[in-house]
């Protein structure tokens, strides 16, 4: 099975992540960026749905085993390259000229949860899965662009609770807290998301212009995040 699968259903592109728990490392970020390029350049899709082939996990965030192995080997430069590519993936999604929908069909943690917040809309399964950003427990300081992103897509108090407590939110709690647009039983999630995505049907040019305005401040702050990483202000 391919690491990433792309299918077209009329004007909706469906990108499925098939790497088990879909942890983010340098290779995964590069593969996702390449797939976004393919969707933009080689299809006429107007909406992109991102989902997971794993029935219980959308993404478990950063591949900490991979990161720690490289740090132990003294390969800090590769880790910095990964963090830079992860930030590039976030910026690419925020400015992507198609509307994007995260169909979160299981647990979503850390960097995976942040990636889902770079999508325009998020839906979760109601019967299983947690949304969690445990940076405080991982001893990894939140960066300015990430903080601004979270505050841009959910109420301020909810974003504060997510990052300061590391609390795990269920799908129903995410819907009630306005982190996501809706939560549905797993057997309904894909159908609901696809119907929603097919109904959007907005032109690429206007979506790109609107995202540049709507997400411009967050993207600029993410450029500062990149400076933090490249200058070594974030310890890796």
Average pLDDT over every residue of 58-84: 93
The verdict on residue 177 lying in a domain is yes
Q: What is the pLDDT of residue 55?
A: 87
Higher pLDDT, 2 or 41: 41
Average pLDDT over every residue of 82-86: 93
Burial 81-100 (b: 16+ CB within 10 A, else e): bbbbbbbbbbbbbbbbbbbb
d(CA 32, CA 185) in angstroms, rounded, equals: 27
Average pLDDT over every residue of 51-62: 95
Q: Which of 125, 127, 121, 120 is nearest to 105 (CA)?
A: 125
Question: pLDDT tens, 102-133?
Answer: 999 999 999 999 999 999 999 999 999 999 99
Q: What is the pLDDT of residue 183?
A: 98
The verdict on residue 235 lying in a domain is no
pLDDT-based confidence at 64, cuts 50/70/90?
A: very high
User: Using CA atoms in the order 35, 171, 108, 41, what is the torsion angle rounded to 10 degrees?
Assistant: 10
CB 67 within 8 A of CB 25: yes
The verdict on residue 35 lying in a domain is yes
pTM of the prediction?
Answer: 0.94
pLDDT-based confidence at 139, cuts 50/70/90?
A: confident
CB 168 within 8 A of CB 107: no
The verdict on residue 236 lying in a domain is no
Domain at 206, CATH number: 3.90.226.10
8 DSSP β-pair partners: 13
d(CA 212, CA 223) in angstroms, rounded, equals: 14
Mean pLDDT of the chain: 94
Q: What is the pLDDT of residue 234?
A: 54
CA distances from 100 to 66, 116, 156, 198 (A): 28, 9, 22, 11
Q: What is the pLDDT of residue 141?
A: 82
Q: Which residues contact 38 (CB under 8 A, 6 or more apart)?
A: 6
pLDDT of 236 over the 50 cut: no
Percent of the chain surpassing pLDDT 90:
86
Pairing relation of β-strands 12-17 and 4-9? antiparallel
Q: Give a three-class secondary structure readout of 5-19.
A: EEEEECCEEEEEECC
Q: What is the pLDDT of residue 230?
A: 63
Question: pLDDT tens, 6-22?
Answer: 999 999 999 999 999 99
φ and ψ at 204, to 5 degrees? -65, -40
Number of domains in the chain: 1
Which contiguous run of DSSP H or E holds residue 192? helix 186-200
pLDDT of 151 over the 70 cut: yes
The verdict on residue 210 lying in a domain is yes
DSSP label at residue 24: B
CB 61 within 8 A of CB 102: no
pLDDT of 96 over the 60 cut: yes
Range of the domain at 164: 4-230
pLDDT-based confidence at 2, cuts 50/70/90?
A: confident
φ and ψ at 144, to 5 degrees? -55, -40
Q: Which residues contact 19 (CB under 8 A, 6 or more apart)?
A: 3, 28
48: left (phi over 0), alpha (psi -120 to 50) or beta: beta
């Amino acid at each position: 099975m391919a690491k990433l699968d792309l299918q077209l259903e009329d004007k909706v592109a469906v990108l499925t992540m098939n790497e088990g728990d879909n942890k983010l490392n340098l290779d995964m970020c590069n593969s996702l960026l390449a797939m976004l390029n393919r969707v933009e350049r080689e299809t006429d899709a107007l909406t992109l749905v991102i989902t997971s082939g794993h029935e219980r996990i959308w993404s478990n965030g950063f591949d900490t085993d991979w990161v720690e192995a490289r740090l132990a080997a003294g390969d800090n430069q590769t880790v910095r390259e990964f963090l830079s590519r992860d930030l590039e993936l976030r910026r690419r999604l925020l400015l992507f000229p198609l509307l994007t929908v995260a169909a979160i069909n299981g647990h979503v943690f850390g960097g995976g949860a942040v990636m889902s917040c770079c999508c325009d809309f998020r839906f979760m399964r109601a019967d299983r899965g947690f949304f969690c950003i445990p940076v405080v427990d991982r001893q990894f300081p939140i960066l300015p662009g990430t903080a601004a992103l979270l505050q841009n897509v959910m109420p301020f108090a909810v974003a504060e609770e997510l990052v300061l407590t590391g609390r795990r939110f269920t799908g129903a709690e995410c819907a009630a807290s306005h982190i996501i647009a809706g939560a549905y039983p797993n057997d309904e999630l894909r159908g609901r998301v696809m119907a929603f995505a097919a109904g959007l049907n907005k032109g690429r040019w206007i979506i790109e212009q609107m995202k540049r305005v709507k997400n411009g401040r967050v993207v600029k702050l993410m450029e500062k995040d990149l400076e933090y990483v490249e200058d070594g202000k974030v310890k890796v």
